[in-house]
Structure 1
Amino acid sequence: MKEINLRAEDLQHKVIPIHMDANFFFERAVRSLDRYHYDKALKYFRKAVEYEPENPVNHCNMAGILSEMGDYEGSNAVLTNILEHVEPSMTECYFYMANNYANMDNFEEAERAIVTYLEQDTEGQFLEEAEEIIDLLEYELDRPAKLVRIKSREGMIEHDQARALMEEGKFAQAVEMLESIVQQSPDFLAARNNLALAYYYMGLFHRAKETIGQVLELEQGNLHGLCNLAIFYQHEGNTKALEHLLDTLSITVPFHQEHVFKLATTMGILGRHEEAYGHFRRLLKDEEVNEDPSLYHYTAVAAFNSARYMEAKRWWNYLLKMDPQSAIPKFYLAQLEQVLVHHKKYPKLSYQYHLPFEEQLKRWEQDEEGMSEEIKHNPLIRSSFFWALRYGDTGTKLQVIRALSWIADDEVKETLSAFLQEPDQEALLKEAAKQVLIEMGVAVPGDCIDAAAEVSVTSEQRPAVMRLPEWKGTWQGVVDQTLQHMDLSMERERKNNVQNLWTAFLGKLYPDTPLIRQPEGWSAALDYLTTKMHGGAVTYQEVAQRYGVSASTVSRYARRIHSVCSLKE
């Protein structure tokens, strides 16, 4: 065999040089990890640290390997070195240390480390995992964690509180809190969106629209902002801008479930029920949220409003199976039957997850006049009141009986008269129904009148003033307004009667006194009743004009005072 002799200069051209740097050892370490060769991986990561001692990632990788190998103390020593000498801002090291301490059953130190992580970390990269560790530590230590704040969720707790205030109707308090959050965290767009809504509900429309403009300046495609803007366009009657924006929203297919829900509800509010139905259907396919009964109701409403009646029936039947005790699917299925069998026409349904009468009772607190008119002319709302009278609990039935007194038409007379004949109804409810019928001028059996009189006498046994531990300024305002409108030459006795009648009325109702939303109406009613008591000739219309309210308002309040105080006696 022939011997091959290579010269030194030839070898120089044949050998491929190896560049020993941190990347070289990092890649070798990763390859070793893939093969579960932890010893080799640790050796290579240590070499990477030698080449780049100022790179905290290399140190972190070395700590991770030590932890995988069960050397938790060694891992924590490396992590401590990173925080003290390499990169103090690398707050995730505290998270890794907490894991190591937990594996060592050193729960006190684990708590210290995880609390430090949550209080210092701004990104919240391991927020969910950290919350799981907190749960574990609370169980092991048998006490709550010593956690004061979560840096990455700064403003989130306050934001949730502000949303809760909005749901309670406390918009001024919500605005104060949201303005503070936005000032401290200008990029917190969810807070800005809710601030815009709070302004809107307070009637500060210009500020609401200005705030939405700020949201869209910061993030042009912010879906919540665009949806809120569409609602505002509808409010101000800007049809052209609204249609243009709706065209954009109608072809938007959001990914996150929160965005899908926002778009679905917005489309429903704006009358785009087909689009709303499509988005609600998407949510029903999401296993994370499709256990929520209200979602099936929203889907059914969108189907009903887009004339997909059999689909609506299907979703309400699903809801009935999920929540068989709820009156909501039963009510809407009964109304749907009226549409399918009797071809009865109903207006578009609300997307609220409750019976229609419940929403009307809430609105009554703000607008008795408008609400009573809506009840009279909306067949769905009327039927929901009669449904609640039959199937509601005692408190609901009492509210409904009171509400029916505002309608006071022939159908109400027939319904309440039939209610009195039902043997299973409570005596309290029958007494309330009798009183409404008496106010409406319906003759009830003599024993009923005696019973009502007995109630009045029982109330009369205690002086009204003694039942009022406080006297509110709004109550006095009603009296003052009445006296201002009365003739200055009017006899003192009649003026005293105004104060006495109002005091007696409030005293008999206390502590269930009415909210004084419309003081002019109450003042007009007092004027009308005291004039009649003194033999004066006056009509509801005359008094109504003097106080700037409607005749029906005067009539309703006067009948209420009359029934409580038993003026005929």
Structure 2
Amino acid sequence: ALCYYYMGSFGDAMETVEEVLKDDPFNVHALCNLAVFYYHLNHPDLKEMVEVLRKLAPFRMEQTYKLATTLGILEDHKGAYLLFKKLIAHSGYGDIHMLHYGAVAAYNSGLLTEAEALWKRVKRLDPTGVVAPYYLEQIERKEAGKPCAKGVSYHYQLMEDEKVFTIEEWKEELVKDPLIRSSFLWALRYGDRDTKIQVIRAFEVIPDKEFEEALRLLLLNPAEDDELKQQVIDVLKNMGAEGPFASIFQHREQMLGFDDAEKWQKVLHCLKNKMQNRYDHQVIEEARLFWLEFIDKAYPGIPNIRKVEAWAASVEYLLLKRSKLSVTREAVSKLYGISITTLDRNCKVIRETFEKEL
């Protein structure tokens, strides 16, 4: 639903949320999303939805974060501040963005002392940044009765000529919506794998330095799997980011370029397309892992991948042989449109890489 909303497809967004609430009427994320959609559409039931949200008391931190960002969108900054304060206490004081969100909510609520304390923490964590100093100056100006920013943006970045966008301006440029942005960034860090894939693909159509930085950080996270990182490389390429990229790939620190990851990923896509109507999910997953294991064992001497179909065919053939399933070289070669000679040559390379395991 967020992806639909982010792309301006409000009808699809509303329909998706309503489907979720039919199955789970108390889903915090769906209720928050519905309130945001109501807000931007000036829906007559908005006031009622806000009252529902104010009564929620989520126990999970990701739900609390969702509720906090939503209240910020709805301009209930005092409610947002109380929740951000809870999140900061839970996660510690090392998250620059969370501290900034709390400071913004406090500032917009008139809690200048609290906002100042949080932005001072941001300044210590990001001493070369310009965001915290700018807003600390705004507090000084406000306390001195001088002209200052009236409504502060949650987005951790100053706009051109240090102008803070109003809510109306954020409506006109949804792709820069600071709180929806924060939801995406949170999902990239803490969501499940399927959610992360959706967020990564959403970033592809919204070129942005903050999103690019988040994707680069994911490449260095040893907890993320290699296939997900290959998708990140693909998206970074389409965003126009400059490579190669520092990455923990195949359990090693290395610089990863576009061509390598793209070709490895294409082999997986080819395997899936050819096998999905002939084998169950378990066999296809074994083929995926088999290919990634080969890349891992062959590194750094990974052979040049000229013809994707040839390597996909070799993986399928060797996997089926290892699993003692019925398969012939002729059938696999015909299916992938390659010669038996090419199949044999690539199978030999893979066998040598695995040594006596195949």
TM-score under structure 1 normalisation? 0.28
Based on CA coordinates, which of the two structures has the bigger radius of gyration? 1
TM-score under structure 2 normalisation? 0.44
